[in-house]
Every structure is written in structure tokens, then in C-alpha cells.
Amino acid sequence: MKLFASFSLNTVVATVVIGAISVTASTAANVLHDVTVVCSDANSLNSALLAFPTTGGTLVGALSIHSASTSLTTALNTATTDTNNVGPSPMSTTDSAAICSALSSCAAAFQSIFNRFVILHPSFNTLPVGGVPTLIRQDVHALVPALSALEAALAAHFDSSAFSCLAAFEGTVDSSKAACLLAYP
């Protein structure tokens, strides 16, 4: 019995220690790096969408959009996780401003992405491969909430001085984001 109690206690202690080690705090530098990756991936997706014609698109082009969209969604999710784990919170005025400035630099790309998805909706539907519209719809329905989650995480962890910057980003992007969701019910 004593051996079992000792083993159980050691197991519990080891589990707690390993659990504590695996939950590490992120830094503002991590978040800034993540946002830089988000913007790079947003520009890549925007380029893929702009290269796709409104008529006569190809499966290869649609798959390029899907791949770029998946990369952007992954980058957004990583940025959200790091933002939610950032320490200290709220971030400093300087860090909040730097991160928001980096995000703002790709607001036009996000706006273009969502607008372009709407414009290309009929083109995706005319591709000879039936699964493409469903795939693109899934991409949109992953991308939009991922961006919204990042916006919410930043709002929760920014210094209040960056709220107007974040509001400007949301003002640029959110109406086109909503229109995009309406185009892909």
C-alpha cells in the first residue's frame, strides 16, 4: 500500500511539473514576429487571389488559394495563442503600438482578400471539379473566425493606447470580412 501511495504521489507531482513546463508564456516579441508572419501570409494569399481570373480559373489556381489560405489561418491561430499567453499583460505601450502598427500594415491586404473571395465566388462555382466551392467555403469559414480571434486577443492584451489603432484595423477589414461570410453561407 505504501509503495502504491508513493508511486501515485510521484506520478501526480511529475504530471503537474510537466504540465507547468508545457504552458509557457509568450513575449511581445513573439507576438510581433507572429504578426509579421501573418502579414506575409496575408500578402501571399492576396497575390494568389489576385492571380485567379474571374472567368476560366484552374484547379491549380484554386488549390494555390487553398494552400495560402490554410497557411494564413495557421499563422493567425499561432498569433492568437501567443497573444493569449503573453506576459506581462497588458503589453507595454511601446509593444502594443509596434504590434498594432505591424498588423495595420496588412489591413489593405486583408480587405482585398475578403473582397476578392466575394468577387471570385462565381468563378469557383464554374470549375469542373465539384469539390472546389466547398473547399473554398471551408477556407473562408476558417479564416474569418481566426482573424476575429486574433483581433479579440489583441484587444484583451494591448495597452489601452493601442485600442484606436486596432479599431482602425477592424474598421478597414471587418465590413469586407462580414460580406465575405455572407457570400459563403
| Count of structural domains within the chain | 1
Q: Does residue 14 carry a pLDDT above 50?
A: no
Other CB atoms within 10 Å distance of the CB of residue 49: 22
Q: Does residue 11 carry a pLDDT above 60?
A: no
10 within domain boundaries: no
- Looking at residue 130, what is its pLDDT? 82
Contact yes or no for 166/156 (Cβ under 8 A): no
For the chain, the average pLDDT equals 91
130 within domain boundaries: yes
pLDDT tens, position by position, 61-87: 999 999 999 999 999 999 999 999 999
74 within domain boundaries: yes
158 within domain boundaries: yes
Q: Does residue 93 carry a pLDDT above 90?
A: yes
**pLDDT average, residue stretch 31-35:** 99
pLDDT tens, position by position, 117-166: 999 999 999 998 889 999 999 999 999 999 999 999 999 999 999 999 99
Which residue, among 102, 119, 90, has the nearest Cα to 183 in the 3D structure?
119
108 within domain boundaries: yes
Where residue 109 falls among pLDDT bands split at 50, 70, 90? very high
72 within domain boundaries: yes
Host domain of residue 175: 25-183
- Looking at residue 9, what is its pLDDT? 46
Q: Does residue 31 carry a pLDDT above 50?
A: yes
Higher pLDDT, 12 or 106: 106
- Looking at residue 128, what is its pLDDT? 86
2 within domain boundaries: no
Q: Does residue 17 carry a pLDDT above 70?
A: no
Written as one string, the DSSP assignment of 88-140 is SSSPPHHHHHHHHHHHHTTHHHHHHHHHHHHHHHHHHHTSSSTTHHHHHHHHH
31 within domain boundaries: yes
pLDDT tens, position by position, 41-50: 999 999 999 9
> Looking at residue 93, which CATH number applies to its domain?
1.20.120
Q: Which is it for the CA torsion 73, 150, 163, 115, positive or negative?
A: positive
